[in-house]
Amino acid sequence: MVDEKVIKAAQEKYGELLRQQLKRVEDLKKEGDWIDYSKLDKLIIGVCGGDGIGPYICASAQKVMEFLLADKIKAKKAEVRIIDGLTIERRAAVLKAIPDDTLAELKKCHVILKGPTTTPSKGDGWPNIESANVAMRKQLDLFANIRPVSVPELGINWTFFRENTEGSYALGSNGIEVTDDLAMDFCVATKQGTDRIITAAFEFAKNSGLNYLSLVTKANIIKTTDGKFLSTMERIAKDYPMVKWDSWFIDIMTAKLIDPARRSDFKVFVLPNLYGDILTDEAAQIQGGVGTAGSANVGKRYAMFEAIHGSAPRMVDEGRAQYADPCSMIKAVALMMDHIGEAEKGKKLNMALDVCVQFERKLVMTGRNTGATGDEFAQYIMDTIKRPDLEKVWNGYIEKAKASKKNN
């Protein structure tokens, strides 16, 4: 027998979720235009260490950032602000993904460098609070999660545009346990949310000259929300006749990324939130591991730059936090440079990362005291940036690596 009271209670919860999402759509309709960093008197950069290894690797990355922006900071054209309060203990104590005072501080910044934060999951003893990453993405409306992956010697140059505020994440902490036997989660796609991520991906495909965009969904099964991505793609593509585009399902794309005959053809990807989460870990692994990948979370008003991995509390428990690899966070600094109009600095930092991590390897990181500390490695990167022959050195390594791949 169906218990009508149970259905009514679930309907009420669902109704509340619908009200929230429709209100969100109204807010999205009022969204302003992109911020212009060149018009700011002073760029405010928040640094938010997070927890676990977060504060360690974030501090190393902050040094690199301050080194690159030294002139701007000195001229008071940029200001770095430390923002505490995003630790799991604090979040659990106030039962909020982001404590109110921390959020208020974050909102006074333009861009944020953020260390990993521990995300509670069912059964780990922490209260069921939403992930701080996910909350920050939603509350600052950081709708585009941009994740570049490059392996020059394999011809791989991918940029992922992961939708960052909707999909299966929008109501990830608001599923309904209808009865002990029935649990339901929800997936959200709005016209406004889908339009803006697909437009951002087309703009990038066009402006970068790559002119090729691949949509990744499972629209044959998840017909309504993924279907909306597909139909939006068809509509917006008409405004970008110079960009070739195609549509893939997530399962086969997961296979294609490890197909040496095919993978270097792909350039720019656009995907709903959950597929973007999964596929970018696979892509990062091809580049050398999730520890090598950074991510830009970009909205029209705010932007946040972070690693794509978690807070590794085990490393802290074992007393090895200072040996955690800061390269993902340093990569995030390179993305920040590109975003704030300092592309030349971003390019140099990326070259130095390639030289130090992949080729020259004067210092290596092992995650323990058999290798360098994060701070030592950050210093190595800064010293490499200072080298006047950096570009030449980088080119030399890339050419050599390409040649040795061909001979294999």
Whole-angstrom Cα Rg for the chain = 22
Binding residue for Mg ion (CB under 5 A) from 51, 141, 163, 277?
277
373 lies in the binding site for ligand IPM (CB under 6 A): no
Q: Is 155 left (phi over 0), alpha (psi -120 to 50) or beta?
A: left
193 sits in which H/E element: helix 191-207
| Chosen residue from 133, 165, 194, 217 binding ligand IPM by CB under 6 A | 133
How many of the chain's residues bind ligand IPM (CB under 6 A)?
Answer: 7
Which of 225, 373 has the CB closer to ligand IPM? 225
Least distance to ligand IPM, CB of residue 372, Å: 26
CA angle, corner 119, sides to 20 and 293, nearest 5? 105
| Binding range to ligand IPM, per CB under 6 A, among 23-31, 83-91, 126-134, 230-238 | 126-134
In 3D space, the residue among 290, 276, 266 whose CA is nearest the CA of residue 162 turns out to be 276
Binders of ligand IPM among residues 136 to 175 (CB under 6 A) are none
Q: Which of residues 51 and 105 has its CB atom nearest to Mg ion in the complex?
A: 51
Q: Using CB under 6 A as the criterion, what x/- string covers residues 258-287 for binding ligand IPM?
A: -------------------x----------
**Residue 131 Cβ, how far from ligand IPM at the closest point, in Å?**
4
The rounded distance, in Å, linking the Cα atoms of 196 and 202 is 10
Q: How far is the CB of 135 from ligand IPM (least distance, A)?
A: 10
CB of 332 to ligand IPM, least distance (A): 11
Of the pair 17, 278, the CB lying nearest Mg ion is at: 278
Residues 296-325 touching ligand IPM, rule: CB under 6 A, are: 308, 310
* DSSP states along 227-269: HHHHHHHHHHHTT-TTSEEEEEEHHHHHHHTT-TTTGGG--EE
Structure tokens at 108: 């006074």
Q: In whole angstroms, what is the distance from residue 307 CA to residue 115 CA?
A: 7
Interface with Mg ion by CB under 5 A: which range of 126-134, 270-278, 310-318, 340-348? Answer: 270-278
Phi, psi for residue 173 in degrees, rounded to 5: -100, 10
Q: Report the 10 Å Cβ neighbour count for 20.
A: 13
Stretch that binds Mg ion, among 36-44, 269-277, 358-366, 367-375 (CB under 5 A): 269-277
Stretch that binds ligand IPM, among 88-96, 128-136, 194-202, 383-391 (CB under 6 A): 128-136
* 142, 144, 149, 152: CA torsion to nearest 10: -120
Give the C-alpha separation, 297 to 407, whole Å.
39
- Of 72 and 162, the one with the shorter C-beta distance to ligand IPM is 162
Q: Identify residues 44-83 at the interface with ligand IPM (CB under 6 A).
A: none
Binding to Mg ion in span 197-226, by CB under 5 A: none
The option from Mg ion, ligand IPM, none interacting with 133 (CB < 5 to 8 A, set by class) reads ligand IPM
Q: Which residues of 380-408 are buried (b: 16+ CB within 10 A; e: fewer)?
A: bbbebbeeeebeebbeebbeebeeeeeee
Which pairing describes strands 176-179 and 182-184: parallel, antiparallel, or unpaired?
antiparallel
Amino acid at 260: P
Q: Which does 371 bind (CB under 5 to 8 A by kind): ligand IPM, Mg ion, none?
A: none
Residues at the site binding ligand IPM, with contacts judged by CB under 6 A: 119, 131, 133-134, 277, 308, 310
Residues at the site binding Mg ion, with contacts judged by CB under 5 A: 277
